[in-house]
Amino acid sequence: MPNEYVLTIISNIGMISLIALSAYLLLVTGQISFGQQAFFGISAYAGAIATTLWGWPFWLALIFGSGLAALIAGLIGVLTLRISGMYFSIATLAFAEMIRLLLFKLTYQVEIDGELVGPNGAEGFGEIRWIFDHNISVLEYTLMIYAVLLLVLFGMVLLERSRLGMIFRMLGGDVLLTRTQGLNPVRYKIAAAIIAGFIAGLGGTFYAHSFTYIEPQIFNVMLGVHSLAYGLIGGLGTVLGPLIGVAIDIGFLESIRILQGYRMIVFGGLVAVMLIFMPRGILDEARVYWIKSVIRRWFNA
Amino acid sequence: MTDFVQNCIDGLMFGSGYALLALGFTLVFGVMKRLNLSFGPSIMLGAYAGTWVYLNISDNAWLVALATVIATIAVGIYVERLCFRAIRHDATIASMVSSFAIWMQLEEVAMHLLPERTYPFPAFFTTTTIEFGPFYARSEHITMLLLTLLLLVLLHVFLFRTRPGLALRSVSDNPLASAYMGINNSNILFLAFALVSVLGGLAGFLILSADTQVTPYFGLWATFKGLIAMMLGGMGSLPGAILGGLLLGIVEANAFWYGGPVIRDLSAYLLLFVMLIVRPGGLIGQKIVAEQRAADERV
């Protein structure tokens, strides 16, 4: 039976992996978003409101929060269609900061058992007690997170093998080439935005219920840049890439005592150096191809 | 109505600080077509050096300003080597992400250097309130506005009347052609970065001595305000930076008056978001966007 500290780290890795996968999906389509933390935050608030204030079951709240995040992601996708590159990045950054500031203004409290609960602006949103009310242990909750994470990973592996996944990669490689194939980049960009918003949303609802307290400041731009950096470190060639990035940051840098207070210095430097020497991460497309061919040879021999 | 006019005057005054920051962004963008997101933290570290000199050595204004500028240049060189020179010239987005990563790094360095969070920054301007009719303005802000305009003129003279300025513009226009003309592009880009750091150091010194304190949040603040001001006014345009800075100042001052600090920040981001969607090049920077788009489309 692993102790709670280790379990907390493991469940953190699972939740942050979801937002990292969301940023990764957009990276694959060639869009750098500094704003995935907004969808994480929207879903964290929406999911927690659904269980705590409305008494919904958790799984329904999870779908509700993520669905709302996906919907808003789709709308933002439509709005930002005409811009790309750094303009897209800064627009998503501006949007995410707007959401964070709006959460400061969000007050929606209901009296439950003689106590006011619900989001209260800058005070945050505490008493998200679903885990305690249903006697769910840290281990069980971690398993729930990983069940969903595995489903998402499975879905993304299937996606990468599908025609849609191929189009996403082509879009990331060359928009003009995509258009000459008779494909409309617009539709695929919106599709990618919606899927990415949904995946980030899954992480958000889990996050709110795991920590039982959320405040707008959590969903600041640092969270977004980290989730982006995970894919860039781990690699853009496979869905395992972002997970490697998360494991390096949370599993290694954040958990080692000596590095306390120096994590950003090491991590920021690591990202900068990686961008110079391996611009598409450790497991980039070429290396993934090489590993696959080695495995294939090994099985054939 | 009086309130509104007074807000606009306040906005112009704050906006001159934003404009100063935007000048640095617009110069990097104009020459390199890249965004340097760690501009703010570099200025902040420079300001820490200035504060250190003030607390430990001397309260001479010129010395503090010099320390601020020199330290900003030092950090600026670090950023240029790591995020700009080392990365391929066509990978503009990689530079942006890399400078964001270095931003995180510099923020944490600042946290270690300044464990007490808030440090005094010397106030060098004589602060008096100037009244005219029902309105008033603070003298240090007027000084800042005038200095901003002076810097704009100096920068314009440098870019359009001197040989290094000509070289800078030719690298910006067409790096290959300027290389054929015997211009060392790397050196020119380095010069541009050093120039931007000097501008940033001066901006930081002026803004902080009007505020009389420096906190670890200054880096984030400076990057965002400078970036928003530049993108509103026009990407890569010097008058655009001034225009965007003043516009941002006026909008923020009014939003603050009518809605408080959260609404002030919200209005700035909303303005940026809408501007990016409607006119990605800002008010007067459409040309540079059109050129980039044409390059993307290869037509």
Model pLDDT, residue A261: 77
Interchain contact, B297 vs A176, CB within 8 Å: yes
Residue B119: strand, helix, or coil: strand
Model pLDDT, residue A1: 52
Q: Point out the least confidently predicted range of A130-134, B98-102, B291-295.
A: B291-295
Phi, psi of B69 (to 5 degrees): -65, -45
pLDDT digits (tens, 9 = 90+) for A79-133: 998 888 888 999 999 999 999 999 998 888 888 877 888 888 888 888 888 888 8
- High-pLDDT (> 70) share of chain B, %: 96
Model pLDDT, residue B229: 92
Average pLDDT over residues B95-119: 84
Q: Considering only CA atoms, which of B207, B204, B222, B201 is closest in space to residue B141?
A: B207
Interface residues of chain B, partner chain A, Cβ below 8 Å: 34-35, 82-83, 86-88, 91-94, 96-98, 100-109, 111-112, 224, 227-228, 231, 262, 265-266, 269-270, 272-273, 276-277, 280, 289, 292, 296-298
- Its ipTM equals 0.89
User: What is the set of domains in chain A, with CATH numbers?
Assistant: 4-300 (1.10.3470)
User: What is the set of domains in chain B, with CATH numbers?
Assistant: 2-297 (1.10.3470)
- Closest chain B residue to the Cα of A122, Cα to Cα: B262
Alpha-helical (H) ranges within chain A are 4-28, 36-52, 58-79, 85-104, 130-133, 138-161, 163-173, 175-180, 185-211, 221-234, 240-246, 263-277, 285-300
pLDDT digits (tens, 9 = 90+) for B123-161: 776 677 777 777 777 777 888 888 888 988 998 899 889
Q: How confident is the model at residue B299 (pLDDT cuts 50, 70, 90)?
A: very low
pLDDT digits (tens, 9 = 90+) for A208-236: 999 989 999 999 998 999 999 999 899 88
Strand partners, A107: A120
CB A241 within 8 A of CB A283: yes
CB B65 within 8 A of CB B50: yes
Between B297 and B112, residue with greater pLDDT: B112
CB A77 within 8 A of CB A194: yes
CB B71 within 8 A of CB B79: no
Model pLDDT, residue B274: 93
Model pLDDT, residue B142: 83
Angle between helices B39-56 and B92-113 (to 10 degrees): 30
Average pLDDT over residues B194-221: 87
pLDDT digits (tens, 9 = 90+) for B208-234: 888 778 888 888 889 999 999 999 988
> Does B203 have pLDDT greater than 70?
yes
Model pLDDT, residue B297: 63
Interchain contact, A268 vs B91, CB within 8 Å: no
pLDDT digits (tens, 9 = 90+) for B6-27: 888 888 888 888 998 999 888 8
Model pLDDT, residue B298: 57
Residues of chain A with pLDDT under 50: none
Model pLDDT, residue B296: 64
